[in-house]
Amino acid sequence: MTNHETIQLSVEHQVAWVTLNRPEARNALDDAMREALLAILTDARTNPEVRALVLTGSGKGFCTGADLSGRGSGLSGPGAARELMRTRSQRLIRALWELEKPVIAAVNGVAAGLGAHLAFACDLIIAAADARFIEIFVRRGIAVDGGGAFLLPRLIGLAKAKELVFFGDDLPADDALRIGLVNKVVPQEELTTAAREWAERLAQGPTYAIGMSKRLLNRSLDTDLETALEEEALVQCLVTQSADTQEGMRAFMEKRKPAFTGR
């Protein structure tokens, strides 16, 4: 994996730390940042040295969404907006949602629009106490995008999702915790430590099994019971052949802590 000037990447203890690094723009995503982030997520899918991932931002903002300044899209006509969604923001949301490794969003500041949805597409969210989430779209006179209409109802229910999207009000971190949108709120100075604790714990776990559980959980709201149970059985058939399952069983019999490798 390589660094882009506005995306910082380091791998520590099998955790990939990905930092959006454009603080002067509150980490608004431009085209280069988006492609660099997609490249990192693509590599992480098959890189055995990455068993968990943390996504965070530098400065005072996590991510204020897509960068709307600068040059135009180069596309025109009635299908232009649809094509932009498919090739830009939707690719990012899909990459995070489908990555079969645990992903933590460490939200250090404002997360607005697509920036909020990047966090929501992660598996776990730890927010700094002064972080805020904003469904900014209505303030610009546009409909929700970036996967928000898919993600929000699954996280907080349809009625609350409509409230956030229709009004576009700032949602403080404590309120986000209260409605179940984030997992934990910590003081700003403790954010990195809290994210590291969870990420390294996950990275030392049976990450192949965790990834398969993530797949089952993400698909559970879009299928019927019969299909869900069949997929569960198929996934378990695969997972039980893994080295981690064998190690977990041996450790149980030998009354010791398992040493998982993610395989």
Which of 136, 107, 109 lies closest to 121 in space, CA to CA? Answer: 107
Whether the CB-CB separation of 40 and 17 falls below 8 Å is answered with no
Q: Does position 1 have pLDDT exceeding 50, yes or no?
A: no
Which of 137, 158, 261 lies closest to 210 in space, CA to CA? Answer: 261
The pTM (predicted TM-score) of the whole model is 0.92
CATH 1.10.12 residue window(s) in the chain: 207-253
Buried b (16+ CB within 10 A) or exposed e, 142-160: eebbbbbebbbbeebeeeb
In this predicted model, what pLDDT tens digit does every residue of 9-68 receive, in sequence order?
999 999 999 999 999 999 999 999 999 999 999 999 999 999 999 999 999 999 999 887
Dist. CA 17–CA 51, nearest whole Å:
11
Which CATH architecture group holds 207-253?
Orthogonal Bundle (1.10)
In this predicted model, what pLDDT tens digit does every residue of 188-246 receive, in sequence order?
999 999 999 999 999 999 999 999 999 999 999 899 999 999 999 999 999 999 999 99
Which of 29, 244, 14 lies closest to 119 in space, CA to CA? Answer: 29
Looking at every residue in the chain, the average pLDDT score rounds to 93
Query: So what's the pLDDT on residue 37?
Result: 95
Dist. CA 113–CA 170, nearest whole Å:
11
Q: Where are the alpha helices (DSSP H) in 99-190?
A: 114-120, 148-156, 158-167, 173-178
Q: Does position 253 have pLDDT exceeding 70, yes or no?
A: yes
Given this structure, which CATH class describes domain 7-203?
alpha beta
Dist. CA 232–CA 236, nearest whole Å:
6
Dist. CA 79–CA 171, nearest whole Å:
33
Could you tell me how far CA 111 lies from the centroid of its own chain?
A: 12
CATH 3.90.226.10 residue window(s) in the chain: 7-203
Using DSSP, state whether 155 is helix, strand or coil: helix
Q: pLDDT exceeding 90 applies to what percent of the chain? A: 88
* Full DSSP string of 156-173: H-HHHHHHHHHH--EEEH
Query: So what's the pLDDT on residue 5?
Result: 85
What sign has the CA pseudo-torsion 39, 12, 51, 192? negative
Query: So what's the pLDDT on residue 71?
Result: 47
In this predicted model, what pLDDT tens digit does every residue of 55-114 receive, in sequence order?
999 999 999 998 877 544 555 566 666 666 666 789 999 999 999 999 999 999 999 999
In this predicted model, what pLDDT tens digit does every residue of 155-200 receive, in sequence order?
999 999 999 999 999 999 999 999 999 999 999 999 999 999 999 9
Dist. CA 13–CA 38, nearest whole Å:
22
Query: So what's the pLDDT on residue 67?
Result: 87
* Full DSSP string of 207-249: HHHHHHHHHHHHHHTTS-HHHHHHHHHHHHHHHTTSHHHHHHH
